[in-house]
Structure formats: C-alpha cells, structure tokens
C-alpha cells in the first residue's frame, strides 16, 4: 500500500498549457495510456534526460528536436518504453512525431516524444497514431489530473503538485506539474517522467538553470532500487502568459523566488514517487549531516538507502542499527573515524562511539520504526555539509511486482 | 533451497592443523557455535580482512595480534558478531584470547579471535569461556567437516573444499578449507569467514601473495546483496609438514602450481557461499568480456549482479533483457557505444546492436532461464579484458530471512 494520502491536491491550470488524454490500448484496452501536451512556441522549455548509456529512442529524438527548434507538443505513451529497440525504435518515435505534426500543422521537430513501460518490445505505432485525434480533441488547461493518470505504469496512483506565488508586486504566477514512476528509480540528472509548467515569463538559459537546480535537490535525491531508467525525462515549460517582465538573469531577485517554489514543487513530486514505490510500506528519509563535502554525505545516504539489508529491516520495523553502521562503514569515505558517528531514528539516539547508545532501549527503537514515515539521521561530525535522500523499504510485494511485471 | 549438492566433498586432513568444536549455547542451546583451530608456531599464516570502516572488535584484535607474533590458535564463535560494540567489544575479544591462552600455555597474542552473527549485541563471554575446554578436548586433524558446521550462521549447509596435488617430484601436498556466509555478502579484499590450510612449506611473504591473488579471483568476485560485512576474514595457514623445501619466492615454479590450486579451491568455497545465499533459487555467473580494463568489466558485472530488477527477473526465470541492458547502461563506462554490446544467456544470443537479436525468441529465453545455473554473458567489444562475478537471485525468501533475522 502506498504511503500517505492518495488524494491529489488542487491543481491550478497554467494559462497557455493544455493537456489531452486518450486510450490507445497499448497494454490494456480502455486504460488511459496516451497524453498530449501543447503550448505556444514562444514558451521557454528546459529539459533533463537520463544519463543511462542505453537511453531510449524517444529520449534520443526528444534531445535532437529540442536542439533544432522550440517545441510546441509533447506526446507521451505508457505501456512500452521504446528502449532497446535499435533503429526501428528511432524510426517509430519519428513516425509518431510526424503524424502528430501533420495533424496539427507544426514541423515534426516541434514534437517531443516520450515513452515509458516495458523495455525491448517494438512500439505499437499504429495504435498510438489512431488515438492521437482523441487526445487532440480533449486538449484543455484543466486536464492536469487526468494527464497524471495517463502517464502511470506500475504506479498505483497519480502524482501532481501545484503552487501559486507572488513573483513581484504586479504578478502572481502558477506552477503545476505531474510525475510518474514506482520502480527502476534512481534518476541521474533527470527523473522517470515529470512535466512541470508555469505561466511565468522566464528566458531559456534561466529556465535551464532553474531546472538543473530543482532536479538536483529532488528527483536526483530519490532511489527505489538503484536502477536508473532508460527513459527518464523531466521537462519544465514557462508559457509566459502571466504577463511579468521576463526573468532573463539568475541575478534577478525573482530567480530566488522561483527557485524556492520550483524546488519545493519538484521535491513534492519526487517524494510522491517514493510514497508509491513498488511494494512500499515505509517512506524513509536518509539525512546525513556533518560531512566534509555534500558528495560524501550523498555516498553515505545512498549506501544506506540502497542496502537490501537495511531495506528489509525497515520493512520488518526492526531497528537493526548494526546493518546501518555496516552500510555507513562500507560507503567508501576516506580517513573515516567511525567512533565519531552518531545515529538517530527520528529523534531517538541509537548509536554513538561505534556502539549502542547507553540511553537506548530496543523498545524505543521498535516504537520509532513503527511509523509509516521514518527518518534515519547520521551525524558524521567531521564537517558542515549535509545531504538528504528519500527511499522506500524492500518488501515481499517488491519481489512480487518485479517477478511478475512482464507476465 | 540452496543450489547444487549439499554433500561435502572428501576433506583431506592437513598434517599439523587440528580443529575442535563445541556448543557454547550463544544463540541456541546445543548448536555447534564455537570452533578452535591450532597449529605449530613454525607455520606461516596469511590473512585478509574486511575493508568496512566499522570493522568488528575481533577483526581489530586479530590484525594487532598477527602483527605481534606467529599465531598458534584461532577461536571462532557464531551467533554474535561482536561488531558495533565499542570498547566493551575490544575488551571482550581480548578476554576470550586470554582465557584460551591461559588454558593452552601460549601468549595471548598467539590467539586470533573471530566472531560472526548479529551486530550490536554484547559478546556472551562467559558462555564462550565455559565451552573452550570442550573444543580443546576434541581437537583433531579429522574435524574439518564438523568445523565447517560449527562456523555456520544463516547458512543452511556447511561449505568446504579439499585438494591433493603434486608440488614437485618429491612432494605431494594437501590444501583443505572451509567457509561460511549467506548474507551481507560483498567481500572487499576478504570474505565472510574462510579458513584454508596446507601442509606445504611456504614462506610468509609468498603466502601473502598467494592469498591476495586467490582472494581477488574468488571471494572478491561474489555478491549476494552488495553489503560488505563488518567481520569478513580469510585465513591461509601453511604448516610446512609436507616436507618440501620451502617456497620462498614467487619466481619459484611451484608458486604457479600452488596459485592455481589455491585459486580453484578458493573459487569453490566462494561459489559455495552463493549456492547457499539467503533465499537463493538460482546460481548466476555474470561474465563480462571485451572490456578496455578489468575494472570496467567488474563495474558492468557488479551493476548487473546487484540490480534488484535483474535479480527479481532471475527469480521469476524471466529473460528480461531490457533490465540487463538498462543495468549495463548505468554502469558508468565512459565513451560507451551501446550498439556494440552483445548479450547472451548461457550460449543464447539475446540482444545485439542495442536491441533484441533477430534470431531470438522468447521461448528460447524462457528455456535458458529455467536452469538452476544461469550464465549472463556480456560482450562489450571494445577491448580484450574480462571479469566474472557470481551472484544469487532476489526471492521472497530473501525478504523473509532478512525481515525475520533478529526476531
């Protein structure tokens, strides 16, 4: 069962950004599996993509098209990742772009394709093309919630977040976004799939800086299984319809306002992926403080977050701090004095000086672990840097879902 | 169910090396949980230990004692790792050494202590001391099999291997060893616990070279869960009782003979750990060829071997080559042309040129995966280096064992 509320928050429309949904019948008849998004070519668009060397055909095409011209359409299918499909996959992704372009009168380079689902099967191009008119027919600024459903694969619920904020004395702007993902989650400079739009006017280079920063502190801080997807993509569109003077430099005071709001919204979307991770029963924050560098804090945090022994102990609500110490010890930190480490679960001190804290009792530990949301806090006490990553536990259901996925 | 035969091979005694076993009742009454080994101080001893920064108290003491003088006794307890136990753990390990030394008339530095089991609980010193006389009473050269049982924790069966070989025209020598381990297995310059003895006469520096090489190609090539233990230790003793002229240099022709035999025996012991890995249903060899360096082959092999998505697909006997390509793609190889990669399961070509092989059918894939022993072969086609690692799948039982371990 996923963690936390499954009710979507209020999703404010972003003027100039419309979404349409259809059922192409890719894996299952009647399931919403095709989403089209559209916006004016005057919008700014910034994107980050997977760093997996086996990146999927649509990722390759989306990158090329972004380099050629301003996009006006996104087309997203689920049920098939069009990854590990060679030249045929490239041809198929291009064909989908061409068909959407022909129906809408834009250049096919103005279409960015996205796919998510099983790897290695040929893309069912005909089904997708047949469903394009349906999705175009229902394009609307009010379709964020239904689009969040339309991009789901093994997700059990849609993921979305929305904000209104005052950008300057004259302008209130909206930011709304959706994401998907439950497994093969360790985004690397990108995420599974996330689409965020704002009506603020933001120049392209500034938008690139905003997305890089927000992704780095959100999607790049989550892991379910350490497996980076072949299809990760995160897209940020600024339609400019709010009417503000465009933000054209990172020195602009409004940059900080946008940065904070976007990072918060990205974190909400990223955490929503963990709350719905495959087989999740606990939402875990791994908070590492007192490192000499952010990098070493991340190393320790990820070593804990990806340890199968830690993750199974979390599933069992077992305060097995020995496995935590073992994970910290193998994280590869140089010149590391293990006796200076303190370890907390939520605010309970568990271990210090390389062994169990004198004040700690197993009863307290079990109580701290019983919660659906658990924070593992590590104090390295060798510097002032910190990092936090979010992860899920490892349950029977994780094995079931991934042993059954293709059948 | 563990993989392969659970019948131990014939274990040849090593003249000058005796083993004794007792039940100290550490975790469970009546279980064999204490093993003592002894040999003459003229023997050569080489050891490798865990690289985990949180190394256990007995590991710290064993390293110190090895530096001080030639060991004559090993004492091993299961059921308690004496790790994460701070200064008390150090005092406890020393106390065990002192008590054994007092009863046998050796210096306490001549005793090396080893512990394996749950992390973070105080060592039950009194129980261990009470059981020492029993183990001393039954010291015998014929106790390898019973000692292999005595060092088990979550292991479901003992692990041992033995060889006789001709060292030179005049001398036949014996090598016999035991190992244990089923979880928290990703040895790093060491292994969970392994004890190997030979009657060959080998000088200390040469023995160090032999153990480093053999460990690097055996225990350092296995992973169950990527979790390096706090208590790993691998010990090689050469009693010199075979009567050969001592091997005093690695240039000696006999070095190659010993190196080959030891590496084979170490591989047999290391693979036995994987065959008995927690929740194992399949023994997996990940064989990566054609790399520019051994290091990049190992990176690819470990990324595959530790991917939860690959491991659950293996459990399901699902030839999910998309997950394999995704793992290869995120292994961090620089300047990597994914289209040159070929992927085989056993000898079946699955994928090439970045997509499914034209000749491949899903039926063939399912058939190849149905076996209890599966080889995943990756041809990188960018160099001449290779590496092989061995791993297990990820099953419901893996979760059960690790979610229940402390209860």
Task: Give chain B's domains with CATH numbers.
Answer: 17-275 (3.60.70.12), 283-404 (3.10.20.340)
Rounded Cα distance between B63 and B271, Å, is 26
Q: Which residue of B has its CA nearest to A351?
A: B84
Per-residue pLDDT, averaged over A184-206, amounts to 85
User: Which residue of A330, A360, A378, A395 to mutate against B (max B Cβ within 10 Å)?
Assistant: A330
Q: What angle do CA B330, B361, A185 make, to 5 degrees?
A: 25
> How far off is chain A from B279, nearest CA to CA, in Å?
12
Residue among B276, B292, B275, B285 nearest B331 (CA)? B292
Give me the helices (H) in A138-222, please.
Answer: 144-150, 204-216
Q: What is the mean pLDDT of chain A?
A: 93
pLDDT of residue B207: 94
pLDDT of residue A407: 44
- pLDDT (tens digit per residue) in A99-139: 999 999 999 999 999 999 988 899 999 999 999 999 999 99
Residues 6+ positions from B217 with CB-CB distance below 8 Å:
B263, B266, B267
Facing residues of B388 across strands?
B287
Q: Identify the band that residue B380 occupies on the pLDDT scale cut at 50, 70 and 90.
A: very high
Q: Identify the band that residue A175 occupies on the pLDDT scale cut at 50, 70 and 90.
A: very high
Strand, coil or helix: what is B54? coil
- What are the distances in angstroms from CA B120 to CA A22, A142, A301, B99? 55, 55, 21, 23
Comparing A154 with B376, the larger pLDDT belongs to B376
- Enter the ipTM: 0.85
- pLDDT (tens digit per residue) in B121-138: 999 999 999 999 999 999
Q: Do B183 and A309 touch (CB under 8 A)?
A: yes
- pLDDT (tens digit per residue) in B287-339: 999 999 999 999 999 999 999 999 999 999 999 999 999 999 999 998 888 88
- pLDDT (tens digit per residue) in A227-256: 888 888 999 999 999 999 999 999 999 999
Comparing B6 with B132, the larger pLDDT belongs to B132
Q: Identify the band that residue A317 occupies on the pLDDT scale cut at 50, 70 and 90.
A: very high
- What are the distances in angstroms from CA B302 to CA B172, B221, B224, B387, B390? 38, 9, 10, 10, 9
The two three-digit tokens of residue B140, written as one number? 């015998």
Half-sphere exposure of A217 (CA within 13 A, CB side): 17
DSSP label at residue B287: E
Give the count of beta carbons closer than 10 Å to the beta carbon of residue A190.
Answer: 26
The two three-digit tokens of residue A142, written as one number? 């009010």
> How far off is chain B from A95, nearest CA to CA, in Å?
19
DSSP label at residue A230: S
DSSP label at residue A259: H
Most confident of A212-216, A328-332, A341-345: A341-345
pLDDT of residue B407: 44
Residues 6+ positions from B82 with CB-CB distance below 8 Å:
B56, B57, B58, B89, B92, B93, B115, B123
- Which is it for strands A385-392 and A373-379: parallel, antiparallel or unpaired? unpaired
DSSP label at residue A173: E
Q: Is-catalytic flag, B191? A: yes
Per-residue pLDDT, averaged over B27-39, amounts to 95
**CA dihedral over B103, B106, B107, B109, signed as positive or negative:** negative
Q: Which residues of B touch A312 (CB under 8 A)?
A: 398-399, 402-403
pLDDT of residue B189: 63
Question: How many residues in chain A?
Answer: 407
Q: Which residues of B touch A88 (CB under 8 A)?
A: 355
First to last CA, chain A: 21
DSSP label at residue A118: B
The two three-digit tokens of residue A67, written as one number? 């380099």
Beta strand ranges found along A262-383 (DSSP E): 283-291, 342-345, 348-352, 355-356, 373-379
Q: Which residues of A touch B228 (CB under 8 A)?
A: 326, 329-330
The two three-digit tokens of residue B151, written as one number? 């060092």
The percent of residues above 70 in pLDDT, for chain B, comes to 99
Per-residue pLDDT, averaged over A295-305, amounts to 95
Q: Which residue of A has its CA nearest to B118?
A: A322
Per-residue pLDDT, averaged over B139-151, amounts to 96
Rounded Cα distance between A223 and B348, Å, is 33
Q: Do B53 and A400 touch (CB under 8 A)?
A: no
The two three-digit tokens of residue B237, written as one number? 């003793």
- Which is it for strands A283-291 and A373-379: parallel, antiparallel or unpaired? parallel
- pLDDT (tens digit per residue) in A372-403: 999 999 999 999 999 999 999 999 999 999 99
Rounded Cα distance between A14 and B52, Å, is 51
Q: Identify the band that residue B17 occupies on the pLDDT scale cut at 50, 70 and 90.
A: very high
Rounded Cα distance between B130 and B128, Å, is 5
pLDDT of residue A404: 79
């Amino acid at each position: 069962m996923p963690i936390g509320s499954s009710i979507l928050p209020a999703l404010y429309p972003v003027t100039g950004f419309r979404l349409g949904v259809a059922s192409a019948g890719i894996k299952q008849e009647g399931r919403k599996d095709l989403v089209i998004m559209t916006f004016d070519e005057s919008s700014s668009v910034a994107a980050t993509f997977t760093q997996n060397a086996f990146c999927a055909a649509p990722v390759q095409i989306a990158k090329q098209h972004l380099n050629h011209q301003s996009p006006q359409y996104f087309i997203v299918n689920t049920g098939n990742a069009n990854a590990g499909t060679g030249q045929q996959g490239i041809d198929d992704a291009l064909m989908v772009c061409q068909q959407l372009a022909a129906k809408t009168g834009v250049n096919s380079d103005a279409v960015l394709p996205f796919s998510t689902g099983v790897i290695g099967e040929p893309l069912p191009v005909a089904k997708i093309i047949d469903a394009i008119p349906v999705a175009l027919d229902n394009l609307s600024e009010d379709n964020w919630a239904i689009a969040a459903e339309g991009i789901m694969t093994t997700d059990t619920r849609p993921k979305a977040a929305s904000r209104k904020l005052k950008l300057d004395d004259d302008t209130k702007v909206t930011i709304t976004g959706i994401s998907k993902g439950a497994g093969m989650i360790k985004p690397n400079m990108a995420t599974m799939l996330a689409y965020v739009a704002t009506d603020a006017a933001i120049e392209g280079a500034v938008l690139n800086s905003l997305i890089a920063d927000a992704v780095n502190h959100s999607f790049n801080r989550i892991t379910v299984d350490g497996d980076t997807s072949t299809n990760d993509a995160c897209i940020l569109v600024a339609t400019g319809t709010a009417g503000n003077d465009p933000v054209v430099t990172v020195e602009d005071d409004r940059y900080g306002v946008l940065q904070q709001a976007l990072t918060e919204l990205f974190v909400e979307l990223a955490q929503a992926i963990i709350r719905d991770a495959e087989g999740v029963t606990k939402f875990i924050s791994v908070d590492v403080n007192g490192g000499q560098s952010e990098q070493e804090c991340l190393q320790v945090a990820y070593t804990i977050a990806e340890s199968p022994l830690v993750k199974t102990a979390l599933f069992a609500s077992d305060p097995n701090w020995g496995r935590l110490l073992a994970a910290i010890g193998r994280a590869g930190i140089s010149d590391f004095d293990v006796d200076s480490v303190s370890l907390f679960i939520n605010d309970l001190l568990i271990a210090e000086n390389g062994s169990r804290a004198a004040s700690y009792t197993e009863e307290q530990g079990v109580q701290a672990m019983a919660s659906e949301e658990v924070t593992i806090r590590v104090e390295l006490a060798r510097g002032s840097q910190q990092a936090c990553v979010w992860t899920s536990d490892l349950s029977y259901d994780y094995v079931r879902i991934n042993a059954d996925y293709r059948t």
